[in-house]
Structure 1
Amino acid sequence: MMAFLKEKFMGYLLALIPALGWGFQSIVMQKIGGKFTNKVMGMAMTTFVFAVIIFFFKHPTTVNSNLIIGSFLCGLFWIVGQLLQVKAFDLVGVSMAMPVSTGEQLLGTTLMGALYFHEWQSGWQFILGIGALAFIIVGIYLTTYSNEKKEKNINLKSGLIVLTISSLGLIGYAVIPRIFDLNSWDILLPQSIAMLITMFIIAGVQKNRKILDVKTWQNMVTGIFFAIANIAILFSNEVNGVAVGYTLSQLNVIVATLGGLLILHEKKSKRELFFTLIGLVLIVVGAIMIGATKE
């Protein structure tokens, strides 16, 4: 019995690593600073290094067109989604951007799972899933509450538009492996190569092409948090199952939001903070309910 409990406890600790990694990722990059291209390039470089290391232990048994095309699209969608998400941090702050981004991604991936992959087969899954989506929608709405009388140097409307487009990119990154029927371990290296190629192309069309300056190298630290979380979720899903692994990984929104408030010192009025925290709770409850539908 004690061995079973110890095994479960260690499994849950493993499942929390993605939440911590993805949560602190946004905090670390904002503390380091630099242009949004520097931040994402640093992450892409570190991801490539980790992928090369993993390749020697887990490499694809076969290389086919599905793997090449799917991996390239994954990397492309991730770059677009990540660039715009980081841009949104500068527009609305981490403490507002992360709940909205997480909520929109949960909505998108859940709808894709239910409608395209037909994950919901029974009545209880539809009831629980639709209830979860309702919680998430209300939660997103509450986290975007802004005190109109309070002057702010942010463009809320532009920030939310950028975030929504970003979420579409990150949803694509999440579902493309399933569309192409790819193993998550197999795509790590080719996907990271696609990330680097895409970033160099973006850098090439910019007026200021200093993509490999000091802030890029410093933001490789940000990439460490992302890469560890990305690899940990694969192990977690194997050990705990997708329901537990997926649900606990979504707790990154709590880490990022509270980090934005406490570490980055993003300012909110008492009313804004109240609505943000309530919205955050609803998004997390929605994530837990979605996790339950995956059982």
Structure 2
Amino acid sequence: MVPLKKYPNYSSWAFLAVMAVGALFCSTVIAGVTGQFNLAPVGIFCGLLWVIGGALCFWAVQAEQDLAGTGLRSMSVSILLSFFSGVVIFQEPTLLYFSVPAIACMVIGIWIPASKTKSVWKNWRSLLSGAIFGTYLIPYKFSSLGDMEFLFPFSVGVCVGSVLLVAIMTLKRKKSFGYPKIPTLFAFASGILWMLGTLAIFWAIADDGMFGYAVGYPLLQLNLVVNQMWGVFVFGEYASRHGRIKLTLSTIVILVGAVLLTLSKM
């Protein structure tokens, strides 16, 4: 999402489409190396679900004008729902005396820097995107696909869904979105990096993975700490001393939660 903040005039819809093409390019290279080309419907379906969440998230970055806050709100919801899904739906073993306080720490830490002057419900885009991101891989968990088998059809769903969405938006506005060279290249590169990170998620939550869905997915959402750092140090968000103190406290509490969550699988 950083390129969207860097280039606020670059359409979030255009970014989504270009990023999806970059993701498909990355997964095609990986599939070419591993020989895992397929069009499994469950992968395509999960990809389409992600497009909805991605569109909401990118829209939120620009509409809510708060890169750090958007990540906080989205990830808090996704952490709660993924943990609940892993424990309740998939019956994954976890030491609740570690995992429950861990999730509480992560969510409390996420909301420490939240603004008290703006209604939470005005940030519905980032909240809804978090709900989708916390549940879109549930169909994959129910399937018999391996992580490498799932990667290519998932990226196809993401790319097809994104391109169709942008096409619909273009027809609606009767005007093509602009694709200036530099931000478009950044968007393409973002898609490649995102697909590599997504592959790590598949590895972590797989049935034979290290953590499972209840622990692995919430832990991987620690990218929100990186998201906060970009917002603060690059884009000057939370510029006041009070704001920086709250954000530092938030990061410490979140990391304590991450440690406890890791211990819950030992």
Q: Which residue of 2 aligns with 1:258?
A: 229
The 5 A counterparts of 1:1-295 are 26-33=1-8, 34-60=10-36, 68-90=40-62, 91-120=64-93, 125-146=95-116, 148=117, 157-158=120-121, 160-206=123-169, 207-208=172-173, 210-211=176-177, 213-214=179-180, 215-232=183-200, 241-242=210-211, 249-295=220-266
Moved more, 283-292 or 197-206: 283-292
Q: TM-score, normalised by structure 2?
A: 0.82
Structure 2 unaligned regions, length at least 5: none
CA distance in 2, matches of 1:141, 1:235: 29
Q: Does structure 1 retain, via aligned residues, the 8 Å contact 2:20–2:159? A: yes
* Counterpart Cα distance in 1 of 2:59 and 2:122: 8
Structure 1 distance, partners of 2:26, 2:218, is: 24
- Contact 1:107 1:136 (C-alpha < 8 Å) held by counterparts: no
Residues 162-211 of structure 1: CA distance to partner in whole angstroms, max 9, x if unpaired?
Answer: 11100111112333311223222111111111112211221232223525
Pick 1 or 2: higher relative contact order, CA cutoff 8 A, min separation 6.
1
Residue 141 to residue 247, structure 1, CA distance change in 2 (3 Å): closer
AA aligned to 1:139 is G
Instruction: Name the TM-score, length of structure 1 as normaliser.
Output: 0.75
Amino acid in structure 2 at the alignment position of 1:69: P
Question: Secondary structure in 2 aligned to 1:118?
Answer: coil
Instruction: Report the 3-state secondary structure (helix = DSSP H, G, I; strand = E; otherwise coil) of the residue aligned with 2:112.
Output: helix
Secondary structure at the aligned position of 2:40 is classed as helix
Structure-2 separation of matches of 1:219 and 1:106: 26
Instruction: Measure how far apart 1:79 and its partner are.
Output: 1.0
Q: What secondary structure, in the 3-state scheme, does the structure 2 residue paired with 1:182 have?
A: coil
**What is the Cα-based RMSD across aligned positions, in Å?**
3.0
Query: Given that residues 60 and 186 in structure 1 are in contact (C-alpha distance below 8 angstroms), is that contact kept between their aligned partners in structure 2?
Result: yes
2-structure distance, mates of 1:292, 1:182: 28
* Aligned-partner Cα distance in 2 for 1:58–1:294: 30
Which residue identity does 2:42 align to in structure 1?
Answer: G
Structure 2 CA distance, aligned partners of 1:98 and 1:242?
23
Q: Percent identity?
A: 19
The answer for unaligned runs of 5 or more in structure 1 is 1-25, 149-154
CA contact 1:80–1:166 (8 Å) conserved in 2: yes
Distance of aligned partners of 1:75 and 1:57 in 2 relative to their CA distance in 1, 3 Å threshold: same
CA distance in structure 1 between the aligned counterparts of 2:27 and 2:73, rounded to whole angstroms: 29
Would the aligned equivalents of 2:44 and 2:154 in 1 still touch at CA under 8 Å? yes
